[in-house]
Amino acid sequence: AAARIDRMAGHLSPPPASPNAFAEDPVVVVSALRTPICRAKRGGFKDTTPDHLLRTVLEATIERTGIDPASVDDVCIGNVLEPGGGAATARMGQLLAGFPAEVPLSAVNRQCSSGLQAFAHVASAVASGVIEVGIAGGMESMTSTDMSSTMPTVDVDVIKAHPSARDCMMPMGITSENVAAKFGVTRETQDQFAASSHAKAAHAQSQGLFDAEIVPVTVTVPGDDGAAATTAVVAADDGVRPTTTAEKLGKLKPVFKKDGSTTAGNSSQVSDGAAAVLVMRKSKAESLGLPILGALRAYSVVGVPPNIMGIGPAKAIPAAIEKAGLSLDDIDVFEINEAFASQAVYCVQKLGIDVAKVNPKGGAIALGHPLGCTGARQIATLLHELNRTGQRFGVISMCIGTGMGAAAVLERI
């Protein structure tokens, strides 16, 4: 009788997962789209709210894949600056996009990696079997809510007495100056890196290399002096400056420190934008007849000293690559967020990465850095580039305010 019970229990219990199950049926991305990235307060989205940006990219995800929005099990959106963590704003954008109320949503904030963290949350849920289909994304309107309006509520006297906690209040530009000074990244090197970012982005725009990832956004433009509002279509990133040179950048004054090297020209732009990534298992994508852009192979997040937070990618990238069982030489493209040229240059040099592999279509210095959106935007930029070129492995990474770094390894399959 006992043996019979054991046999019955074996039939009722699922067999143990194969150690290679993830490799055989990985978590994949079947759609990765973004809005254009526009200059905060001056660009194409200065009169557009973040819910509309998110709505537009979610609508495009449904339209281009043909997926039934009711079949999406969960949505997670990265955001940094919106009141309430962006949860209500993102939920409204989701519902406006045509998702039924039964499809849940959450928002996540891990500073500049929020869009990537949303992807990690959704991918983990898919991998564990909690959900089958999920959407990860990010949104930010730095026009609507700027960084100075979201200071934390803390006991300042207590914080000041603890060096690391105190450094979490340090302006990001000062952390850039710290990295430049500590690791000897010169002003000239930073300006050359920044000029290269614009040159690469301008070339990519001229060749239509962003077209596959960008969703045009119809916006309302208020009329002047009582005139009626009009509509316009924003279809391209508007922060790219094709005529930028290192010599021109060299004439700009430091912003954060009188004798410093960080300027408005070699820092990321303050921007507005949104992005969305549709995630599921490879087997699910195949059953739905959906194209596969790439698979997640590894994700890592690490902590670093807050006062040099920009070094985060130099720590997170090796950790993620090791988890993927790869080496730095295996990676074809590195999308490293250019929060500041100082820290991006340091990370590339520290890891010995061939600069030709870094941000081949430009980075945040040229394109902009809408905080909560950037990680999801990088996924779209990377995967479409891997598919365009036929390359195999890519990494996205960024530094994170208060002292962290995150990285993910993706593979075109």
Contact 61, 81 (CB under 8 A): no
Specify whether 112 is catalytic.
yes
Residue type, 2: A
Contact 239, 368 (CB under 8 A): yes
Residue type, 88: A
The whole-angstrom separation of Cα 310 and Cα 175 is 7
- 10 Å CB burial of residue 159 (0-12, 13-18, 19+) is middle
Q: Are strands 393-400 and 404-411 parallel, antiparallel or unpaired?
A: antiparallel
Catalytic entry in 38, 76, 112, 373: 112
Specify whether 373 is catalytic.
no
Assigned token pair, 396: 């996205």
Contact 360, 333 (CB under 8 A): yes
Assigned token pair, 210: 């962003």
Q: What are phi and psi of 175, to 5 degrees?
A: -65, -35
Running DSSP on this structure, what letter comes out for residue 392?
-
- Nearest partner of 274 among 113, 93, 140, 94, judged by Cα: 140
Assigned token pair, 233: 């279509």
| DSSP symbols for 98-167 | T--TTS-EEEE-BTBTHHHHHHHHHHHHHHHTS-SEEEEEEEEETTTS-GGG------HHHHHTSHHHHH
Question: Exposed e or buried b for every residue in 27-47, given b needs 16+ CB within 10 A?
Answer: bbbbbbbbbbbbbbeebbbbe
| DSSP symbols for 36-86 | PPEETTTSTTTT--HHHHHHHHHHHHHHHH---GGG--EEEEE-SSSGGGG
Q: What are phi and psi of 165, to 5 degrees?
A: -65, -40
The residues annotated as belonging to the active site are: 112, 399
